Amino acid sequence: MTDLWRTSFRRLTEEQRAWVIPLIEKNDYKNIRSLTEDRDVLELFRHYAIRKEDVNEPDENHEILKQKFEQLIRQDQFINLTLTYDFEDDAANTDTTATGA
């Protein structure tokens, strides 16, 4: 779905985008057919007429990630999700000034 939206959006000219973006930001696209007959614009807004309940294909990656992070939060809601460098070579962390080497 997202790829189809991107294709529709990239097809728009700069002038069309300048007109479309404020409508998208305001979620003001219910009466789009009364505002324009531009086929490319209408094609883009066709994606906004799709309700979440209408999508038959579940996003498996989304569900997997959602379950993973929900489990992490249930285990420890204050879990630190910052990056660590556990893979660094111990030799790189050795202070050679103390040994005189």
Classify residue 39: in a domain, yes or no.
Answer: yes
Q: What is the pLDDT of residues 13-48, one digit of tens each?
A: 999 999 999 888 888 777 888 889 999 998 888 877
**In-domain check, residue 28:** yes
| Residue 48 belongs to some domain of the structure | yes
Mean pLDDT of the chain: 75
Tokens of 74: 């249930």
Which of 22, 50, 20 has its CA nearest to residue 36? 20
Closest of 39, 42, 50 to residue 1, by C-alpha:
50
The yes-or-no verdict on residue 66 having pLDDT over 50 is: yes
Residue 16 lies inside a defined structural domain of this protein: yes
Between 49 and 97, residue with greater pLDDT: 49
Total structural domains within the chain:
1
| pLDDT of 83 strictly over 50 | no
Domain that holds residue 12: 2-54
What pTM, to 2 d.p., does this model score? 0.47
pLDDT at residue 1 is higher than 70: no
